A and B are shown apart, each in its own frame.
Chain A
Amino acid sequence: MREINVSEVTEAVKKMCIDANYALSDDMKKALESARSEEVSELGKQIFAQLEENLAIAASDQIPICQDTGMAVFFFKIGQDVHFTGGDLNQAINEGVKQGYTEGYLRKSVVGDPLIRVNTKDNTPAVVHYEIVPGDKVTITCAPKGFGSENMSRVFMLKPADGEEGVKEAVLRAVKDAGPNACPPMVVGVGIGGTFEKCAEMAKEALTRPVGSHSDKEHIRAMEEELLDRINKTGIGPAGLGGRMTALAVNINSYATHIAGLPVAVNICCHVNRHVTVTL
């Protein structure tokens, strides 16, 4: 049994919230650079140049990449041999979010109740997904999620008879409906299978997979490649103003499902696809 004091979690969470909002991961930076060279629209090329300049200013002047610094989403993979000490883990995570968003000059975008809608003024609470895994390590991924693209995300409860083609049509439908609203070039996270909530969680986690990586299942990998190609033929383009580069990646995660179902979730992320992972 390994003991971890929850104050370590607070510190890690605070730092991840700040880091994620001021710099993109290397895979995202590379994807944006290569998309810029592949863009055919003149206006699209100008937009890529502006996005590159935006990242440079964010780093040099310490201004968040995007003003929507997101709702803080976390994936915790907790080794079953870990024992948390020193307090409530959920409180420790939210304390880290509060400190990160306050000390990091990040926008507080969370309302405490979806209908009464009063801002909590410290960006808490976070949305946390826990998974128990073998071992004595804790891997934390922080993915602040902006709602311009979150609002364009969808869950489709398809029928088994809809098959692969139905899944592809659903993803393309979500992307086309999102269009300029989701701040393309997008990263498209897809969850196929499981249950209603499982596919949504898989789609969200798929967004945190490095751009350029692929599923290790051959048929899923083929679908990722085909869908990226088809999305980049829609013409939506950077900022939705026309062009080739509508998406940087389609990342699909899949899971077993019921004989009667084919759930598909499409979680769309803008070009500010933020994620940071640390292991304690």
Chain B
Amino acid sequence: MNKEIQAPISAEVAKELNAGDMVYISGTIYTARDAAHKRMDEALSEGKELPIDVKGNLIYYMGPSPAREGRPIGSAGPTTASRMDKYAPKLLDLGLGGMIGKGKRSKEVSDAIVRNGSVYFAAIGGAGALLSKAIVESEVIAYDDLGTEAIRKLKVEKFPAIVVIDSKGNNLYETADKLYNKEKE
């Protein structure tokens, strides 16, 4: 099913999403990938505040290429989400609304999604030029020294993504390939 949703995302909206839904996300989302997650995790361990309020927000696992003059951002597709699996459950337990990335997640992440009524979306990997067109504003708001890995606040309009793990724990990656598997034929 095709759905248009707003970010930040409410628990009610998250609950209505099902694995396999195609969604178009508009609103404000934040980027963070490996190095930013490591820093956020260290900040939490030291009892410090996070640079963003994660409640209801979506984190996009993405590090863009540099923007040309007059453009908000360069190429901007998703990176592999599993590298953030170590950090994601803690952020989900703090109220993170959802994550956008690509690829499989661990059982710990899937359990944390169900526990918190959150959601994991996949954007199309390797379609960075196309996806950049849905990003209308970009601003580095933390960890500037990390370059492409800094935390960015993005304004997105109809950013296309697919629900992979929904709040019930359904996982599209675990069911979709079985529909087309012909190995036993």
Which residues of A pack against B, CB within 8 Å? 40-41, 43, 47, 50-51, 53-55, 57-58, 61-69, 105-109, 117, 119, 121, 146, 148, 151, 179-181, 183, 230, 233-237, 239-244, 270-272
14 A-B pairs whose Cβ atoms sit less than 8 Å apart in the complex: A57-B129, A64-B128, A65-B75, A65-B129, A66-B129, A67-B77, A69-B65, A119-B148, A183-B102, A233-B181, A233-B182, A235-B183, A240-B102, A242-B172
Which of these, A107, A240, A271, A272, contacts B148 with CB under 8 Å?
A107
A236 contact set on B, CB distance < 8 A = 177
A272 contact set on B, CB distance < 8 A = 126
Interface residues of B in 90-147 (CB under 8 A from A): 102-104, 122, 124-130, 132-133, 146-147
Q: Bound complex: CA of A17 vs CA of B127, how far in Å?
A: 19
B129–A61 contact, CB under 8 A? yes
B74–A63 contact, CB under 8 A? yes
Number of B residues, CB within 8 Å of A = 46
B103–A179 contact, CB under 8 A? yes
B176–A242 contact, CB under 8 A? yes
Which of these, A41, A65, A179, A234, contacts B126 with CB under 8 Å?
A65
Q: Bound complex: CA of A120 vs CA of B136, how far in Å?
A: 29
B173–A66 contact, CB under 8 A? no
Q: Bound complex: CA of A64 vs CA of B127, how far in Å?
A: 9
Q: Bound complex: CA of A275 vs CA of B133, how far in Å?
A: 25
Distance of A233 from chain B, by nearest CB (Å): 4
**At the interface, is chain A mostly helix, strand, loop or mixed?**
loop
Residue of A nearest to B185 (CB): A233
Residue of B nearest to A232 (CB): B182
Q: Across the A-B interface, how many residue pairs have beta carbons closer than 8 Å? A: 166
Q: Bound complex: CA of A57 vs CA of B76, how far in Å?
A: 13
B102–A180 contact, CB under 8 A? yes
A239–B125 contact, CB under 8 A? yes
Known contacts A67-B75, A121-B147; is A242 also within 8 Å of B179 by CB?
Answer: yes
Which of these, A57, A58, A179, contacts B173 with CB under 8 Å?
A179
Distance of B131 from chain A, by nearest CB (Å): 8
B126–A54 contact, CB under 8 A? yes
B180–A183 contact, CB under 8 A? no
Kindly state whether residue B62 has any CB partner on chain A within 8 Å.
yes
Residue of B nearest to A176 (CB): B177
B63–A237 contact, CB under 8 A? no
Q: Bound complex: CA of A121 vs CA of B144, how far in Å?
A: 13
A179 contact set on B, CB distance < 8 A = 103-104, 173, 177
Distance of A268 from chain B, by nearest CB (Å): 12
B128–A66 contact, CB under 8 A? yes
Kindly state whether residue B64 has any CB partner on chain A within 8 Å.
yes
Most A CB atoms within 10 A — which of B65, B74, B133? Answer: B65
Q: Bound complex: CA of A181 vs CA of B67, how far in Å?
A: 26
A54 contact set on B, CB distance < 8 A = 124, 126-130
Distance of A243 from chain B, by nearest CB (Å): 5
